[in-house]
Amino acid sequence: MGCHRNSTGFPCDPVPHVSTHTTVLLDQAVEALAIKPGGVYVDGTFGRGGHSRLILSQLGNNGRLVAFDRDPAAVAAGKAIEDRRFHIVHASFSRIKEMLCQLGVDRVDGVLLDLGVSSPQLEEACRGFSFQVDGPLDMRMNPDEGVPASEWLKAVPETQLEEVIKNYGEERFAKQIARAIAEARARQPLITTHQLASIVAAVIPAHKREKKQNPATRTFQAIRLYLNQELEKLSLALPQCVEILNAGGRLVTISFHSLEDRIVKRFMRASAKCDVLPRKLPLRLQEVRLLSRPTLHLIGRAIRPDEAEIAANPRARSAVMRVAERIDLF
């Protein structure tokens, strides 16, 4: 029996020697939500449902869980859950308020955002997220939206490519990598993950590579973040999450990238501070107090996986979890 292939002809079988999907910070994240049996909760990134299933196990008969995911494969996995308390939405969490409104949900008691790429996305060669096995240069969270990385790399100006690799990948060799990609694409189309990974590896000197990290990691990460607008969608989602939370409701985020974590940290800290309003605004004292009050209360410090979890699941090593609680404004 041959391996499953997608329309490009590349195999869609899992990457060899990669373990099955393991949810990072599973117990810690669900515990941080402080589940109420009759509450309404949102899992903003269903993935393969690790967090969702644990949330459902703690909900009572009147509880409700709405999950989101951009990936059709994740949505298909979610539809396999036969539970009247559960509903999965095929959309980005950046549309959380709009989609919940369509479901008749105005307020929720907790939102979980587990950011980044999932293990199944990395493990399927045909998705083009991983440099560990050859596959088409795609990298789209939703294969039905936008253009694949191969098409983008064909047309993007070299200066813009350098900016993307530098700003989204925090890659110090961005200029050299962009130049090498531009030269390579002039010779032949860049259509596979191994092509791109080889180009990047040839640019970065061996003695300047990061330990225990493939030299192409930051470049792949940058292109993926940019094509999927992951940072932009996160910035759109965070204010909506606060807006839909009931007083005492929790916002829990798990980040795997310093840029993601920076956005979350700054947002939570800003929301936990009083706004300084301009002087002499025509507002009553009560209105000033209402407008300048913080909307979130930070719960503890950032949480990272312990050594045991990292040993069992190396992909957890960069995870950072942050928790904040909605403050009652009235």
pLDDT in tens, 137-179: 999 999 999 999 999 999 999 999 999 999 999 999 999 999 9
The sign of the dihedral angle between the CA atoms of 168, 173, 178, 181 is negative
Each residue's pLDDT tens digit, 28-61: 999 999 999 999 999 999 999 999 999 999 999 9
pLDDT above 70 (res 189): yes
Strands ordered across the beta sheet of 296-298: 86-90, 64-69, 40-43, 108-114, 245-255, 320-326, 296-298
> Do 273 and 292 form a contact (C-beta atoms < 8 A)?
no
Residues 289 and 283: their CA atoms lie apart, in Å, by: 10
92: exposed, middle or buried (Cβ count in 10 Å: 0-12, 13-18, 19+): buried
Residues 225 and 261: their CA atoms lie apart, in Å, by: 13
Bridge pairing between strands 64-69 and 296-298: unpaired
Q: What is the pLDDT of residue 11?
A: 53
Q: What is the pLDDT of residue 138?
A: 96
| Residue 21 amino acid letter | H
Backbone angles phi, psi at 245, to 5 degrees: -75, 135
Residues 280 and 28: their CA atoms lie apart, in Å, by: 46
pLDDT above 90 (res 117): no
Q: Model-level pTM greater than 0.85?
A: yes
| Residue 155 amino acid letter | A
- Mean pLDDT score, 76-102: 97
Residues 182 and 157: their CA atoms lie apart, in Å, by: 8
Which residue is associated with the tokens 């308020």?
Answer: 97
Tokens of 194: 């191994």
> Do 226 and 304 form a contact (C-beta atoms < 8 A)?
no
163: exposed, middle or buried (Cβ count in 10 Å: 0-12, 13-18, 19+): middle
Q: What is the pLDDT of residue 315?
A: 84
Q: What is the enclosing helix (H) or strand (E) of 65?
A: strand 64-69
- Mean pLDDT score, 231-258: 97
- With a pLDDT cut of 90, the percent of the chain lying above it is 75
Q: What is the pLDDT of residue 251?
A: 98
Name the DSSP letter for residue 127: G
Q: What is the pLDDT of residue 266?
A: 97
> For the chain, which domains are there?
26-119+230-326 (3.40.50.150), 142-227 (1.10.150.170)
